[in-house]
């Protein structure tokens, strides 16, 4: 089993996006709704290769809006919103003038129905306008089909930032969750700890694979032992939020959020949906009848029980750094 201390010494930032080739409607015409928002029309034809199209669209946008002297900034590519029901991915997130836009690429009727759902969800956030480039005409009414996906381990990526550890906590009291042991978050965190019991080494290896950490990109299952001394890893989650993971035999595997800037809904959605993802992954391990952790098991379940009994308002992160 591999040592987590050695792995964390030489982690670099690496993240790639999807390179899917999508089946698109056979037409050379590209439909768009830019005019609905008084935006200049973009002269472009989608190729059906999503990453190629994203690159071409960004280049065309920058050239057109520079020519028209319209302020434009590309805020993100493959931006993930974490919603109560799942994750909504936006191909290109833009700011044009003082307004935020989410740009979708539509290749077929299935994409079109998903766009309708995404547009409805983004309208509910009351901050974003939805625009599209489409291979199919977007006229008439369409029944929406869910644009959401489940939270996955690859929705996170390694960060090279060094946030202040004292700003981060597993949980803190809010008006909606004033007491830890009575909160939905406690139930989910306790379930995560229970589910990972005996499988923590597998989860670390699988999560590191999703983060594209060197040495973990093969198909084989690689296990990583928990360290005695607590160690941390900083990652970027959906909505570009910084999250700290901590690892130790005493407390197990824990998530820490910035308690000054993290919205309540974000924290609870990440915890709940990660709980589901971990349960699904553990079931796959059990079906393969893989040996459980023995000497490397943590006391994470006991730690959460202890914290619940203390009734603390902030369950913070100890002051440790990876060296």
Query: For the segment 249-291, what is each residue's pLDDT rounded down to a tens digit?
Result: 989 999 999 999 999 999 999 999 999 999 999 999 999 999 9
Considering only residues 298 and 199, tell me which one the structure prediction assigns the higher pLDDT. Answer: 199
* Helix H or strand E segment including 245: strand 242-248
pLDDT-derived band at 312, boundaries 50, 70, 90: confident
How would DSSP label each residue in 16-38?
A: ----PBPP--S-S--EE-GGGGT
Counted domains in the chain: 2
pLDDT tens column, 70-124: 999 999 999 999 999 999 999 999 999 999 999 999 999 999 999 999 999 999 9
Q: Specify if 44 maps to a domain.
A: yes
Indicate if 55 and 193 belong to the same structural domain. no
**Beta carbons of 3 and 226 less than 8 angstroms apart:** no
Residue 154 clears pLDDT 90, i.e. is over it: yes
Q: Tokens in use for 248? A: 């130790």
Q: In whole numbers, what is the pLDDT of the chain averaged over residues?
A: 89
**Beta carbons of 132 and 104 less than 8 angstroms apart:** yes
* Among 59, 77, 81, 173, residue whose Cα is nearest residue 127: 81
Q: Specify if 3 maps to a domain.
A: no
**Cα–Cα distance for residue pair 173/316, rounded to 1 Å:** 11
Residue 323 is predicted with a pLDDT of: 32
Considering only residues 174 and 321, tell me which one the structure prediction assigns the higher pLDDT. Answer: 174
**Beta carbons of 223 and 237 less than 8 angstroms apart:** no
Residue 15 is predicted with a pLDDT of: 37
Indicate if 107 and 240 belong to the same structural domain. no
Q: Enter the pTM of the model.
A: 0.86
Beta bridge partners of 162: none
Q: Specify if 177 maps to a domain.
A: yes
Percent of the chain with pLDDT over 70: 89
Give me the helix-helix angle, 184-196 and 300-310, nearest 10°: 160
Q: Specify if 175 maps to a domain.
A: yes
Pick from 149, 183, 207: which residue ends a domain?
Answer: 149
166-175, 213-222, 240-249: range with lowest mean pLDDT:
213-222
pLDDT-derived band at 206, boundaries 50, 70, 90: very high
Indicate if 127 and 170 belong to the same structural domain. no
Indicate if 174 and 274 belong to the same structural domain. yes
SS3 180: helix
Q: Specify if 15 maps to a domain.
A: no
Indicate if 131 and 161 belong to the same structural domain. no
Indicate if 97 and 180 belong to the same structural domain. no
Indicate if 84 and 105 belong to the same structural domain. yes
Beta bridge partners of 246: 232, 254
pLDDT tens column, 14-56: 334 444 545 555 557 899 999 999 999 999 999 999 999 999 9
Indicate if 143 and 157 belong to the same structural domain. no
Q: Give how far Cα 263 sits from Cα of 14, 25, 182, 260, Å.
A: 27, 40, 19, 9
By residue range, what is the domain housing residue 305? 151-316
Determine the Cα angle at 319 with ends 157 and 261, to 5°. Answer: 55
> Other CB atoms closer than 10 Å to residue 149's CB: what's the count?
12
Indicate if 222 and 288 belong to the same structural domain. yes
Pick from 108, 130, 149: which residue ends a domain?
Answer: 149
Pick from 130, 149, 168: which residue ends a domain?
Answer: 149
């Amino acid at each position: 089993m591999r040592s987590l201390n050695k792995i964390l010494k030489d982690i670099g930032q690496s993240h790639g996006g999807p390179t899917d080739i999508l089946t698109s409607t056979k037409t050379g015409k590209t439909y768009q709704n830019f005019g609905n928002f008084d935006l200049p029309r973009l002269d472009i034809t989608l190729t059906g290769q999503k990453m190629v199209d994203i690159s071409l669209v960004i280049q065309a946008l920058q050239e057109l809006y520079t020519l028209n002297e319209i302020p434009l900034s590309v805020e993100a590519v493959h931006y993930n919103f974490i919603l109560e029901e799942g994750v909504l991915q936006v191909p290109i997130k833009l700011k044009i003038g003082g307004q935020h836009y989410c740009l979708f690429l539509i290749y077929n009727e299935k994409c079109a129905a998903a766009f309708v759902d995404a547009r409805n969800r983004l309208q509910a956030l009351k901050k974003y306008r939805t625009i599209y480039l489409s291979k199919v005409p977007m006229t008439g009414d369409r029944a929406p089909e869910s644009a959401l996906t489940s939270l996955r381990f690859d929705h996170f990526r390694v960060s090279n930032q060094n946030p202040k550890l004292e700003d981060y906590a597993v949980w803190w009291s809010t008006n909606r969750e004033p007491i830890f042991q009575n909160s939905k978050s406690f139930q989910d965190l306790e379930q995560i700890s229970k589910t990972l019991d005996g499988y923590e080494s597998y989860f670390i290896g699988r999560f590191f694979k999703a983060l594209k950490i060197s040495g973990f990109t093969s198909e084989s299952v690689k296990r990583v032992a928990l360290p005695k001394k607590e160690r941390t890893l900083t990652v970027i989650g959906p909505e570009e939020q910084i999250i700290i993971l901590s690892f130790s035999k005493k407390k197990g595997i824990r998530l820490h959020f910035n308690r000054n800037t993290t919205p309540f809904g974000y924290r609870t959605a990440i915890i709940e949906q990660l709980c589901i993802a971990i349960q699904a992954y553990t079931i796959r391990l059990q079906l393969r009848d893989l040996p459980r952790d023995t000497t490397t098991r943590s006391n994470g379940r006991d730690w959460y029980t202890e914290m619940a009994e203390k009734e603390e308002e902030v369950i913070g992160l100890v002051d440790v750094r990876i060296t």
